[in-house]
Structure 1
Amino acid sequence: MEVSTPTRTRPDRCPGVLRPWAADDGALTRIRVPGGQVSVSSLLTLAEIADLHGDGLIHVTGRANLQLRALPAIDGSLIGPVVAAIEATGLLPSRNHDLARNILVSPQTGLAGGRADLRPVLADLDRRLLAEPRLAELPGRFLFVLDDGRSDLHDRHRDLGLIALDGANCQLRVGKTFGPVLPLDDAAATLVRLALRFLDHRGSGPTAAWHVAELPAPLCAACTPAPQSCVRTEPLPYGRVPGGHHVDALEGLTRSDIAGWGADRVVLTPWHGVLIPENS
């Protein structure tokens, strides 16, 4: 049964590129990276921005996003050249959706283990988010969680998501409850419809809900969890793991760190790490 939190009294303040947080050392900006999937070339360009304008480090967040600190801002906004430089990395494809592309995915999906490769579902979901103007209104803390069946993300807050049951089917997660079983090919479109329904029912103004669990009524009927939906897996350890090498990024990443990986693409993880695929 859903347990609602107290009524909100202000909008969320989760930072983005166009809505930085004013910290003591300068502006802090967060860059959404759906599923943590990122090219090394984009990271290297971002590291140059950190060197030129910030504290010289790229930070990996607990939602597998990226964060830069100590950036220059005027009247609460990043200066134009910094915003343009971040856009040039390809990591900000839509200014309107700056805060909306919060998608966690099992980091090893498609590399090793799991019941399904969720990278196509991730790409479909992100494409649909960007194509729907209303979804730019999602709160900055609203989170999609796509679990490929290993349940490595079972302890993460989620608003909407799924767990793969096999290579073709999944069960939806809607807040803290389980939703219907459906084909993986239909998952992204269904999640977008539920996100739009959330916007219809969240209210408006400073008291609007940030999360599905705060709604006065469920978005859909709760379903019995499939047996495959009830497994649990420990967080991914640092070091050699199936599919690659998981490196610790707790202290931030420098340009030399990134250049030393010898990879084309990597996966940011919600354990403040980076998974370097063994065949990248």
Structure 2
Amino acid sequence: MTRSTPDSCPGVLRLHQAADGPLARIRVPGGRLAPEQLQALADAARDLGNGALELTSRGNVQLRQVRDAAALADRLGAAGLLPSRTHERVRNIVASPLSGRVGGWADVHGLAADLDAGLRADPRLADLPGRVLFTVDDGRGDVSTLRGDIGIQAVAADEFAVLLAGADTGLRVSAREAVEVMLDAARGFLDLRGTGDDGQWRLHEIPGGAERVVEALDRSPAGAPLELGAAHDLPIGWLDQDNGLVSLGAGVPLGTLPARTAEFLAAVERPVFVTPWRSLVITDLDEGPAETVVRVLAPMGLIFDAQSPWLQVSACAGRPGCAKSRTDVRADLAAAVESDRVRSGTPEPARIVVPAEDVTVAGRQHWSGCERRCGRPTGPVTDVVATPDGYRVDTH
């Protein structure tokens, strides 16, 4: 596949002109936000945007209706959230949020940070498309389900499978080798992609791309390829850390976090991880403070109940944020949740078109304002797509 248009992924320095105003996307490699960084984002959302943070499916953060792009860049730079003006859009790195705290073979957060530093240190890697995704999985198989372009997954305490185009290559590396191998794979992708803005955006778009990158790495497969899962349990609720402290997994309805709620999170003064499932993990809490966090933030809309129907749903931006959307998808979806039309269980196979007020769907579902189905998660999901005559519910 060869693209006819350049990669237009937004960043901080290149905003996307959405229907409701300029949109900025802030990369958060590995998902980790220090309290002062979360406060800076809350302040920017309130002072320069629409008053909310949007969490993305890659563990990044978006601000809508940005009123002063230069001021936003200055604020984010001061907070350490814009460490490179040349590489800002290519820092798409997701890591297992619970790594080093709850389970997993290895703590991969240091590897994610080293990968980010390595990307920024190589001028050539600034040419990566903004859609390339790196995954750093601690062995539990959570972020590998995202089917990134280049990744690793721990298979032992100091052994990692190398993943390319969403599949295991059979290559195995140590922790010491892992970052450089991922960087070499990224360089190999650039060699295959060619130059200019009309090349492929993702490794899987290149015929035989993964195999050709393996050849360039000049390594031999050393293990039977892993079978990567299609889904996993979201980290929601009370999570006992291996060191005796507590993490809290918090769902964020439709990934929209009001600035005021973000300020309360920053005041907890603990690291917060943005997950690629549009949720948060608040880490390193004693039991008493953890109970207080739940009592304060649950009434503000954060979800600590793993059975909440909000955890079954996702949606595109819809109107008024997207001019291509046929309707206000998020309002229709919120009405479905609030009227108990989002159910647990397995959906029955169907392909029907019904009015918004009649949509009733069981299980994981994604609502879209048009056929592009932006933001659709990987894995089994029911599509609820707006049409001129209502929503088409398409269960497979």
**One fold, TM greater than 0.5?**
yes
Residue ranges of structure 2 left out of the alignment (5+ in a row): 242-246, 287-396
> Which of the residues 156, 161, 183 maps onto 1:166?
156
Alpha-carbon distance, 1:251 to partner: 4.8
Q: What corresponds to 2:74 in structure 1?
A: 84
Query: Following superposition of structure 1 onto structure 2, how do residues 91-110 of structure 1 map, counting pairs within 5 Å?
Result: 91-110=81-100
Describe the superposition over 1:237-269 as per-residue Cα deviations: whole angstroms up to 9, x where unpaired: 432234411112235223432333313311110
Residue ranges of structure 1 left out of the alignment (5+ in a row): 1-5
CA distance in 1, matches of 2:58, 2:13: 19
Which segment is superposed worse, 137-146 or 252-261? 252-261
> Which of the residues 170, 174, 188 maps onto 1:197?
188
TM norm structure 2: 0.64
Matched position secondary structure for 2:22: strand
Q: Note closer, same or farther for the CA distance 1:138–1:264 as it changes in structure 2 (3 Å cut).
A: same
CA distance in 2, matches of 1:164, 1:101: 21
Describe the superposition over 1:97-156 as per-residue Cα deviations: whole angstroms up to 9, x where unpaired: 110100011111111111111012112111111111111111010000111110012331
Which segment is superposed worse, 198-207 or 125-134? 198-207
CA distance in 2, matches of 1:9, 1:231: 32
Which segment is superposed worse, 181-190 or 244-253? 244-253
Letter in 2 for 1:29: A
Letter in 1 for 2:227: C
> Which of the residues 49, 62, 84 maps onto 2:57?
62
Letter in 2 for 1:258: A
Q: Does 1:277 align with 2:267?
A: no
Contact 1:235 1:271 in 2 (8 A): no
Q: Does 1:209 align with 2:209?
A: no
Identity across the alignment (%): 36
Matched position secondary structure for 1:181: strand
CA distance in 1, matches of 2:72, 2:284: 33
Q: Note closer, same or farther for the CA distance 1:231–1:175 as it changes in structure 2 (3 Å cut).
A: closer
Matched position secondary structure for 1:92: coil
Alpha-carbon distance, 1:86 to partner: 2.0
TM norm structure 1: 0.89
CA distance in 2, matches of 1:121, 1:251: 26
Alpha-carbon distance, 1:177 to partner: 3.5
CA distance in 2, matches of 1:160, 1:197: 11
Describe the superposition over 1:203-225 as per-residue Cα deviations: whole angstroms up to 9, x where unpaired: 22343011111224421158475
Alpha-carbon distance, 1:171 to partner: 0.9
Matched position secondary structure for 2:62: strand
Contact 2:82 2:88 in 1 (8 A): yes
Matched position secondary structure for 2:248: strand
Q: What corresponds to 1:47 in structure 2?
A: 42
Q: Which has the higher contact order (CA 8 A, sep 6+)?
A: 1
Contact 1:64 1:270 in 2 (8 A): yes
CA distance in 2, matches of 1:19, 1:225: 42
CA distance in 2, matches of 1:165, 1:56: 42
Aligned length: 269
CA distance in 1, matches of 2:10, 2:240: 33
Letter in 2 for 1:85: R
CA distance in 2, matches of 1:84, 1:253: 22
Letter in 2 for 1:274: L
Q: What corresponds to 2:264 in structure 1?
A: 260
Alpha-carbon distance, 1:176 to partner: 3.5
Q: Does 1:10 align with 2:10?
A: no
Contact 1:178 1:223 in 2 (8 A): no
Letter in 2 for 1:213: H
* Higher-Rg member (1/2): 2
Q: Does 1:71 align with 2:66?
A: yes
CA distance in 1, matches of 2:99, 2:238: 16
Letter in 2 for 1:24: A
CA distance in 1, matches of 2:194, 2:4: 12
Describe the superposition over 1:158-182 as per-residue Cα deviations: whole angstroms up to 9, x where unpaired: 1100110111110100114423111
Q: Does 1:33 align with 2:28?
A: yes
CA distance in 2, matches of 1:223, 1:15: 37
Letter in 1 for 2:6: P
CA distance in 2, matches of 1:57, 1:275: 18
Q: Note closer, same or farther for the CA distance 1:51–1:111 as it changes in structure 2 (3 Å cut).
A: same
